């Protein structure tokens, strides 16, 4: 039997970001756990390193142009780590001792060294850094996200830049990587009327750059894709039906214990989306039942 719609109050989702859109396309159940159930995720050293490196690259441009060196960037690593620990104390548990933390900071320094092989920050003056962008499309769908960097040329041409601390994708996966950038380009176009001249993904892990020049047709197609995706999400909410979609990415999922593909049982579907600091009772129970990893 197929899933049936139910006449119960539906959770209200306020907006769609590139990461949440990507979640639904990757695995609807992952989208549900992250966006509707809002189950917590354990911090990882790789994701935390990405956060710290992004913070360093943001603050690097606070320095006078001539002082934006690799040594200056490396000097920001420990302060940014300390800042993150103060905001999110749980990340301190990623490292057993000072030696393991030092090794991790060295790996972050290597990523910063990779950045300096890709461009010269002394010759740049970004218009925006870590900028929240958002727009409401016809029909009420709100798109929002954080752009790492926005550059504006003296001629008015716009470049949207994003830092990635992993390796560049194989050619067959470049479209998926560019989806996030087209999302940002669409929001920029709909809010300013200007189509960005260039989308630039900088992969610090293997020191590669992926560039793409969009046009209006690209952005119209992206908007249609997002509206269709939103329709699918609304339908899934009405049906309370978010099926798992197993893939190799499951190896890195925090929610295997609650996934039917791994013998688990999803928690009851919530009747509303709680605030970010307000877990539902079944969430607490589900988290307590997770095995140690």
Question: What residue has token string 């039906």?
Answer: 241
Residue 67 CA to residue 54 CA, distance in Å, equals 18
Q: pLDDT truncated to tens, each residue of the chain (293 aa)?
A: 344 444 444 444 568 999 999 999 999 999 999 999 989 888 999 999 999 999 999 999 999 999 999 999 999 999 999 999 999 999 999 999 999 999 999 999 999 999 999 999 999 999 999 999 999 988 788 999 999 999 999 999 999 999 999 999 888 788 888 999 999 999 999 999 999 999 999 999 999 999 999 999 999 999 999 999 999 998 998 899 999 999 998 998 999 999 999 999 999 998 765 443 344 333 333 333 333 33
Beta carbons of 54 and 292 less than 8 angstroms apart: no
- C-alpha of 32 from chain center: 16
Predicted local distance difference test score (pLDDT) of residue 13: 57
Tokens representing 272 are 């509303």
Predicted local distance difference test score (pLDDT) of residue 170: 86
Predicted local distance difference test score (pLDDT) of residue 121: 98
Predicted local distance difference test score (pLDDT) of residue 82: 97
Predicted local distance difference test score (pLDDT) of residue 174: 84
Predicted local distance difference test score (pLDDT) of residue 42: 87
If residue 162 lies in a helix (H) or strand (E), which one and from where to where?
Answer: strand 158-164
Measured at the CA of 33, the angle between CA 30 and CA 34, to 5 degrees, comes to 85
Q: What's the helix, strand, coil split of the chain in %, to 5?
A: 50, 15, 35
| Alpha helices per DSSP H over 61-173 | 70-87, 98-118
Residue 254 CA to residue 43 CA, distance in Å, equals 10
Residue 153 CA to residue 173 CA, distance in Å, equals 30
Predicted local distance difference test score (pLDDT) of residue 22: 93
pLDDT digits (tens, 9 = 90+) for 187-209: 999 999 999 999 999 999 999 99
Predicted local distance difference test score (pLDDT) of residue 15: 83
CA distances from 152 to 94, 127, 156, 196, 198 (A): 39, 6, 6, 9, 11
The radius of gyration of the chain's CA atoms, rounded to the nearest angstrom, is 21
pLDDT digits (tens, 9 = 90+) for 243-260: 999 999 899 899 999 999
Beta carbons of 38 and 279 less than 8 angstroms apart: yes
Question: What does pTM read for this prediction?
Answer: 0.86
Tokens representing 262 are 């791994």
Q: Of the CATH numbers 3.30.565.10, 3.40.50.300, 3.90.320.10, 3.40.50.620, which one belongs to the domain with range 128-227?
A: 3.90.320.10
Tokens representing 159 are 């470049």
Where do you find CATH 3.90.320.10 in the chain?
A: 128-227
If residue 58 lies in a helix (H) or strand (E), which one and from where to where?
Answer: helix 45-60
CA distances from 244 to 14, 38, 184, 233, 265 (A): 23, 16, 27, 14, 11
Beta carbons of 185 and 195 less than 8 angstroms apart: yes
Going by the DSSP 8-state scheme, the letter that residue 16 receives in this structure is B
C-beta atoms surrounding 221 within 10 Å: 13
Tokens representing 71 are 């040594």
């Amino acid at each position: 039997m197929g899933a049936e719609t139910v006449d119960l109050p539906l959770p209200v989702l306020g907006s769609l970001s590139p990461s949440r859109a990507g979640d639904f396309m990757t695995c609807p159940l992952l989208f549900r756990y992250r966006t509707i159930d809002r189950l917590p995720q354990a911090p990882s050293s790789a994701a935390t390193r990405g956060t710290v490196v992004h913070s360093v690259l943001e603050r690097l441009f606070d320095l006078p142009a001539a002082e934006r060196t690799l040594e200056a960037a490396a000097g920001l690593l420990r302060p940014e780590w300390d800042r993150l620990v103060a905001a999110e104390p749980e990340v301190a548990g990623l490292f057993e001792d000072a030696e393991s933390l030092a090794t991790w900071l060295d790996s972050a320094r290597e990523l910063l060294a990779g950045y300096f092989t890709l461009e010269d920050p002394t010759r740049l003056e970004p218009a925006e850094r870590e900028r929240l962008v958002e727009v409401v499309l016809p029909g009420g769908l709100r798109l929002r996200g954080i752009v790492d960097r926005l550059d504006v040329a003296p001629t008015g041409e716009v470049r949207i830049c994003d830092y990635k601390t992993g390796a560049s994708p194989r050619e067959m996966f470049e479209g998926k990587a560019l989806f996030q950038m087209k999302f940002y380009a669409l929001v920029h176009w709909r809010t300013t009327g200007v189509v960005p001249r260039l989308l630039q993904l900088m992969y610090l892990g293997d020191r590669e750059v992926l560039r793409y020049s969009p046009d209006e047709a690209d952005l119209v197609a992206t908007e249609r894709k997002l509206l269709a995706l939103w329709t699918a999400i609304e339908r899934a909410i009405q049906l309370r039906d978010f099926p798992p979609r197993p893939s190799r990415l499951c190896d890195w999922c925090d929610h295997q214990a609650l996934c039917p593909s791994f013998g688990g049982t999803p928690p009851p579907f919530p009747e509303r989306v709680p605030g970010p600091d307000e877990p539902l009772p079944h969430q607490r129970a589900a988290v307590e039942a997770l095995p140690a990893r």
